[in-house]
Amino acid sequence: MKRLKLFTLTTVVLLVLSNSANANVTLLSSDDFVGVSFWVTSMGMLAATLFFFFERESVVHNWRTTLTVAGIITGISFVNYVYIRNVWAVTGDLSISYRYIDWFVTVPLQVTQFYLILSAVRKVPKKLFWKLLTGSYIMLLGGYFGESGYIPAVAGFVIAIAGWIYILYEIYSGEAGVAVAKSGNKPMVTAYNIMKKIVAIGWAIYPLGYIFVFFSGGVDFNSLNIIYNIADFVNKIVFVLVIWVAAMQNTTQRYR
């Protein structure tokens, strides 16, 4: 009954938010592949959000925070994608600022998931949380200021890459990397390794997009938007889905 109430509440909240974000509905053309990619991604985010909140009560207590954060990540992306789908349908264009509205909330939450899954199985210094959070905002602020023209594009790119490299250092070789090696929790280690590969490989799409826009002399923005949508779909949903797998495996081991 408790799970059903949580599922119902989550559904109602997301529908209300999506209706607000999509107040002025414009129908997508059937051959608008960019618009369709926005719509498909938003539906994937909605399904993932409902799934994670519904599954929260299925896992052992110390893993529930990770699933709550997972649902928040995909829920925020769902609402934003519904809104930007409508912006695209009306204008045929999309400012990068709309994506940063999503990223400024979801990316720090994703990065801090490394701390949260480690905390689920062992004691981890709280300073790790703040180090990961700081790295994520350095990366995002550099990218945003550079892409929005507040600072030179090269300077913004350098700052963003520095933040990304710092995050990679922490999760591969820094405090987080050392902690996961000592954890002895195989499901968590497997999830952690997939997550860090997504940050290293999947997130490379975004600086590449930056390079194409500002340094290559031209870019097909339709193709870039589709690529960004696919990247967000994988980099968010798969990222948090592996956390759910680890949580379920730890739950099974606890009650075996």
Eight-state DSSP code of residue 182: T
Domain that holds residue 46: 2-255
| pLDDT at residue 2 tops 70 | no
Domain count, the chain: 1
Tokens of 197: 């590969």
pLDDT at 75 over 60: yes
**C-alpha Rg value of the chain to the nearest Å:** 19
pLDDT for position 220: 80
pLDDT at 137 over 60: yes
pLDDT at 158: 97
Mean of all residue pLDDT scores within the chain: 88
Mean pLDDT to the nearest integer, 184-200: 94
Packing angle, helices 2-21 and 33-55, rounded to 10: 150
Q: What pLDDT is stored for residue 23 in this prediction? A: 46
Amino acid making up residue 249 = Q
Alpha-carbon span 212 to 216, nearest angstrom: 5
* Signed CA dihedral, 68, 71, 76, 77: sign only: positive
Q: What is the pTM of this model?
A: 0.87
Tell me the pLDDT tens digit for each residue of 140-156. 999 999 999 999 999 99
Closest alpha carbon to 142 in 127, 131, 128, 158: 158
What is the rounded average pLDDT of the residues 75-102?
90
Q: How far apart are CA 160 and CA 142, in angstroms?
A: 5
Q: What is the pLDDT of residue 25?
A: 55
CB 131 within 8 A of CB 175: yes
Our measurement of the distance from residue 247's CA atom to the centroid of its chain's CA atoms, rounded to an integer in Å, reads: 18
Which has the closest alpha carbon to 109: 64, 151, 80, 76? 76
Summarised one tens digit per residue, pLDDT across range 14-56 is 555 555 445 455 666 667 788 889 999 999 999 999 999 999 9
Of 156, 155, 162, nearest to 143 by C-alpha is 156
Per-residue pLDDT at 22: 54
Report the alpha-carbon distance of residue 215 to residue 149 in Å, rounded: 14
CATH number at 172 reads 1.20.1070.10
- Which phi-psi region, left, alpha or beta, contains residue 17 (left: φ > 0; alpha: ψ -120 to 50)? alpha
The pLDDT, as a whole number, for residue 181 is 87
